[in-house]
Amino acid sequence: MLRYSLKRILQSALTLFIVITVVFLLMRLMPEEGYFGTGSDKLDAAQKENILRSYGLRDPMYLQLKNFYSSLLKGDLGTSIIYRPKVPVSVILKGKVFYSLYLGLASIGVSLVLGIGLGILMSQYKGKLWDKLGTVYIVVINAVPAAVYYLFIQLYTTEWFKLPILFDVDKPVSWILPIVSMSLGSMAGYAMWMRRYMVDELNKDYIRLAKAKGLKNSAVMVRHVMRNAFVPMAQYLPTSILLTIAGSLYIEYLYSIPGMGGLLIDAIQRQDNPLVQALVLIYSAVSILGLFLGDLLMALCDPRIKLEHQGGSR
């Protein structure tokens, strides 16, 4: 376990290093207009050159990279140029991280609970109405682009249930729609997985034995099938985190949530290079961390490791 974790940590660190370096180098290929801020047409060539020099963009590449890493290690993510001129990115982010974090965690929780519930429901009514409805839901969510169904959810649920159309921190009702929308994708994944697992498992010998002992169907489900099903569930968690991150880009923009996802889109549209760079780095780091934790969780949940523990305690 320890060896596996160490190897996995090294792998993640290497990935992070490659991603950061590549992102930094690619960003240097961007057109330089992004560095002059508003009123760039009034500057002549010499002034532009001076600005670029002051940002250190005329230094040799290895020096730029070295400076970048040393400031990154000090927690300095750079300074915004256009979005909020001359304000450090970390200051801009400070007020925004929490919205994204809360929404993301809430939607992961919601999708886990609802997705597993739906999967169990579908496997219990296999081939009947619930199963068919669930299948339609899974197909639609998987096939139709998220941007499209998010739009329709915002358009119609706000009318039907009289929910606020935009996000407002002080109104808890306005949190419902963004969280639910963000959960839909991973929910479909969990439901699909859970259904398949339960259906496969129902034909196995230990279930038939449990039934032959005279256990009630619900008891078999709770004590045997579900306990086994939860263990490999961890496998899907990393993907779920990635889906949530991608979802947050749309959702925060759509509901005007002042989080990081909406900020990235703003920064892209205004071509604020340092801000885009910082946000892309943060998103990569978060996903790499998420994948790492998911894999670790899976290794922890592995039944063989559990067996070892039981053996030791006896």
Does 191 bind other proteins (CB under 8 A)? Our answer is no
Interacting residue with other proteins among 21, 87, 97, 152 (CB under 8 A): 152
Select 23 or 121, whichever has its Cβ closest to other proteins. 23
Contact status: 140 vs other proteins (CB under 8 A) = yes
Give yes or no for residue 219 binding other proteins (CB under 8 A): no
Determine if 77 is a binding residue for other proteins (CB under 8 A).
no
Choice between 24 and 55, CB closer to other proteins: 24
**One character per residue 42-61, x = contact with other proteins (rule: CB under 8 A):** --------------------
Taking CB under 8 A as the binding criterion, the range among 73-81, 100-108, 135-143, 198-206 that sits at the site for other proteins is 135-143
- 184 or 242: whose CB is closer to other proteins? 242
Nearer to other proteins, 20 or 120 (CB): 20
Straight-line distance from the first to the last Cα atom of the chain, in angstroms, rounded to the nearest whole number:
21
Residue 151 binding other proteins, by CB under 8 A: yes
Q: How far is CA 25 from CA 57, 68, 89, in A?
A: 12, 11, 19
Percentages of the chain per state (helix, strand, coil), in multiples of 5: 80, 0, 20
Binding mask 1-30 for other proteins (x = CB under 8 A): ----------xx-xx--xx---x--xx-xx
Task: Using CB under 8 A, count the residues that bind other proteins.
Answer: 41
Query: What is the helix (H) or strand (E) element at residue 1, kind and residue range?
Result: none
Does 197 engage in binding with other proteins (CB under 8 A)? no
* 113/144 with CB nearer other proteins: 144
State which residue, 48 or 270, has the beta carbon closest to other proteins: 270
Cβ-based burial of 134 (10 A; exposed 0-12, middle 13-18, buried ≥19): buried
Beta bridge partners of 79: 88
> Which positions ≥6 away from 297 have C-beta within 8 Å?
234, 237
Stretch that binds other proteins, among 68-76, 143-151, 169-177, 214-222 (CB under 8 A): 143-151
- The torsion of the CA quartet 152, 153, 156, 161, rounded to 10 degrees, works out to 180
Least separation in angstroms between CB 283 and other proteins: 5
Q: Give the whole-angstrom CA distance, residue 167 versus residue 187.
A: 22
Minimum CB separation from other proteins for residue 13, in Å? 10
> What is the length of the chain?
314
Going by C-alpha positions, the residue among 251, 292, 237 that lies closest to residue 100 is 251
In the window 266-285, what residues touch other proteins (CB under 8 A)? Answer: 268-269, 276, 280, 283-284
Determine the 3-state secondary structure of 38 from DSSP: coil
Interatomic CA distance for residues 146 and 58, integer angstroms: 42
CA 313 to the chain's CA centroid: 38
| 108 vs 264, beta carbon nearer other proteins | 264
Farthest CA pair distance, the chain:
88
Q: Is 305 in the site for other proteins (CB under 8 A)?
A: no
Site residues, other proteins (CB under 8 A): 11-12, 14-15, 18-19, 23, 26-27, 29-30, 139-140, 142-148, 151-152, 155, 242, 245-246, 249-250, 253, 264-265, 268-269, 276, 280, 283-284, 287-288, 291-292
